[in-house]
Structure 1
């Protein structure tokens, strides 16, 4: 059986509690770049499970934060 990266990441966190999932995310943010694909897969799951309103809000927050970072540089 061959696993792809998405499947491996999902299997690694499946069964984790909400607190454990939050810890996985928190520990990955600002960490090693190796964690970025995992965060991407988790974000993909969040995005797919979100309502249109929640997606719009996430995109708005991302846009705002990217704009702020551009202004600082």
Structure 2
């Protein structure tokens, strides 16, 4: 991902509170638009970097379950 894109996304959400961040994620997921994927990627990167090992393992397990459900459904 272009570093400028990452910085632009972070700049756009820099002043957001928890409610606004949640709304951003919910909106992006519900709309399912391809153009939202880079932003979700940047948000996930932040979450990953600030998570402990147990949280990371929980995310991997949730991801694995989601992938299995998506490919079997």
Q: TM-score, normalised by structure 2?
A: 0.90
Structure 1 unmatched runs, 5+: none
The residue aligned with 1:45 is 46
Higher helix residue share: 2
Match of 1:16, SS state, is coil
| CA distances 1:19-62 after superposition (whole Å, capped 9, x unpaired) | 00000111111422111100000000000000000000000000
- Structure 1 segments, 4+ long, off by >2 Å, are none
Root-mean-square deviation (CA), in Å?
1.1
Q: TM-score, normalised by structure 1?
A: 0.90
The separation in 1 between residues aligned to 2:61 and 2:67, in whole angstroms, is 10
Larger radius of gyration: 1
Once the two structures are TM-superposed, the CA of residue 69 in structure 1 deviates from its matched residue by 1.6
